[in-house]
Amino acid sequence: MKSCLYEGWVRHRRFGSVTHEFRKRLFMVALDLEEIDQVFHRRWLWGRQLWKFARYCAEDHLPEGDTDLKSMLQRLHCQHGAQLSDGPVQLLCHLRYFGYVFNPLSLFLCRDPQGQLQTVVAEVRNTPWQERHHYVLQPKHFLSWPSAGIRKDFHVSPFLPMDMNYHWRIEDGEKLLTVHLENHRQGQTVFDVTMQLQKRPMTSGWMSWMLVRYPLMTWQVTAEIYLHALRLWWKGAAFHVHPRKLASASAADLQTTTESPENFTQTMPDGTTEQGRPSMPTEFTRDCSSDR
C-alpha cells in the first residue's frame, strides 16, 4: 500500500524587527488517490461516513466547478504549463476529526510510475476567510536550493505583506519527508516554516495510536493559529488588511469621489457647463423660505 501516515513536527520562524518562533508536533495522512476505498475498508473509526471519528471528504479539497481530484490536478497542471505524470498521486493533509477540518497546507505529491516526485500541487487555505489557492510546483521550484521563486499571490496571514516570493525545498525520502518554505522580501528571508515527518504504516495499530495521541488535531491547528496571531499583535507586528478589503475600499472611495458635489457638472441656461456643487431645486428653496 502506498498510502501511509506521517508523524513529526512543524516549526515556524519570523525574522526582522518583530521575531517569533514556535514548534509543535503533529501527524498527517498521505492518501494515494487510487487507494482511498482500500484504506478505509472495515475501519471502525476512519472512513467517509458522517459518523466516523476521522472522516475523509474529497469536497474539502475540491474548488467549485471541479468534480474529482484527478481532473482538478490535470486542469491545474495545464493552466501552469506543467505535465501531470501517469504515476501515483498522494494527498498529504488532515482529515476531519470530530467533524472539523482546517488544512493550512495540503500537498498533492505527484510521482512518476517509478515513484519519483515530479510535481507538487500546494493547496493553501486561510482563516477566517476560508479561501483556497493552488501553487503548482515543478522540479525547479523544490528539488534544488536555492529554488526558483514563486510570487505570493494569496493572502494568508495578516502579519505578512503580499509583496513576497516563496522558495520551496521538498525532500521525499523513503522514510522521511521534509518540507521547507521561505518567504523572501527584497532579497531577505522574513519568514520560514519547516515540517519534518516520519513515515508510519497505514495499519490498524498506527491509525488507532494517532487518534489517541492527537484526538483534536485540526481543532488544535486552528486554535494555535489564532493564539500566535494574538501574540504577534501583542508584540507589535504590522497588520496588513486583506487585499480584497483594500480593493473594496478603493472602489467605494472612487464612487464617493465621482459622486461628490465638487465633481458635479451642471449645464447652465446659456448652454455652458459649470463644475461644482449642484444648484438647489427651486421648489426646495421656496419651501425653505416659507419656513422662516
Same-domain pairing of 27 and 129 = yes
Phi, psi (rounded to 5 degrees) for 235: -75, -10
Same-domain pairing of 176 and 80 = yes
Spatial separation of the C-alpha atoms in residues 131 and 289, rounded to whole Å: 57
Spatial separation of the C-alpha atoms in residues 182 and 169, rounded to whole Å: 9
Same-domain pairing of 152 and 254 = no
Same-domain pairing of 205 and 250 = no
Q: Count the neighbouring beta carbons within 10 Å of the beta carbon of residue 57.
A: 13
For the chain, 292 residues long, give each residue's pLDDT as a single digit of tens: 999 999 999 999 999 999 999 999 999 999 999 999 999 999 999 999 999 999 999 999 999 888 899 999 999 999 999 999 999 999 999 999 999 999 999 999 999 999 999 999 999 999 999 999 999 999 999 998 888 899 999 999 999 999 999 999 999 999 999 999 999 999 999 999 999 999 999 999 999 999 999 999 999 999 999 999 999 999 999 999 999 887 666 555 545 544 544 444 444 445 444 544 444 444 333 333 334 3
141 close to 147: Cβ distance less than 8 angstroms:
yes
The pLDDT of residue 248:
66
Type of residue at 98: F
Same-domain pairing of 226 and 251 = no
Q: Which of 215, 235, 255 is the last residue of a domain?
A: 235
Same-domain pairing of 267 and 174 = no
Quick check: helix, strand or coil at residue 81? coil
| pTM of the shown model | 0.85
What is the span of the domain harbouring residue 265? 243-290
Residue the block writes with cell 488517490: 33
47 contacts: CB under 8 Å, gap ≥ 6: 40, 54, 55, 56
Q: Residue 120: which H helix or E strand, with range?
A: strand 117-125
